Amino acid sequence: MPPTLLDSAAMATPARPVPLAALLDGCATAVQAVRAGRSLTDVLAAVEPTLRPGVQALAFDVMRKLGAAAEVGRMLAPKRPAPWVDALLCSALALLWPAEAPAYPAHTLVDQAVAAARRRVPAAAGFVNAVLRRFARERDTLAAAALRHPVARWNHPAWWIEQLRADWPAQWQALLAAADHHPPMTLRVNRRRISTDAYVQRLAAAGLGAAVPADPAIGGQVVVLERPCPVLALPGFTEGEVSVQDAAAQRAAPLLLAGGLAPGARVLDACAAPGGKAAHLLERADLDLLALDRDADRLERVRATLRRLQLRAELRAGDAGNPRDWWDGRAFDAILLDAPCSASGIVRRHPDIRWLRRAGDLQSLAAQQARLLDALWPLLKSGGRLLYATCSVFRCDGQHQIDAFLQRSIAADARLLPASPGHLLPLPDNCGEAVGPYGDGFFYALLMKT
The single residue of 229, 271, 391, 431 carrying the catalytic annotation is 391
- Which of 180, 163, 66 shows the shortest CA–CA distance to 359? 163
CA distances from 371 to 111, 258, 343, 375 (A): 53, 26, 18, 6
Work out the angle at residue 324's Cα, subtended by the Cα atoms of residues 319 and 334, and round it to the nearest 5 degrees.
70
CB 306 within 8 A of CB 312: yes
Length of the chain: 450
- Which of 6, 166, 152, 190 shows the shortest CA–CA distance to 69? 152
The CB density around residue 278, as the number of other CB atoms within 10 Å, is 30
Pairing of strands 314-317, 287-293: parallel
Phi, psi of 215 (to 5 degrees): -65, 115
Question: Where does 236-338 have alpha helices with state H?
Answer: 252-257, 276-284, 296-309
Q: Is 391 a catalytic residue?
A: yes
The CB density around residue 244, as the number of other CB atoms within 10 Å, is 16
CA distances from 117 to 29, 61, 87, 120 (A): 12, 20, 11, 5
Task: Please state the separation of Cα 232 from the chain's center in Å.
Answer: 20
Cα(45)–Cα(42) distance, rounded to whole angstroms?
5
CB 276 within 8 A of CB 338: no
Which are the catalytic amino acids?
A: 391
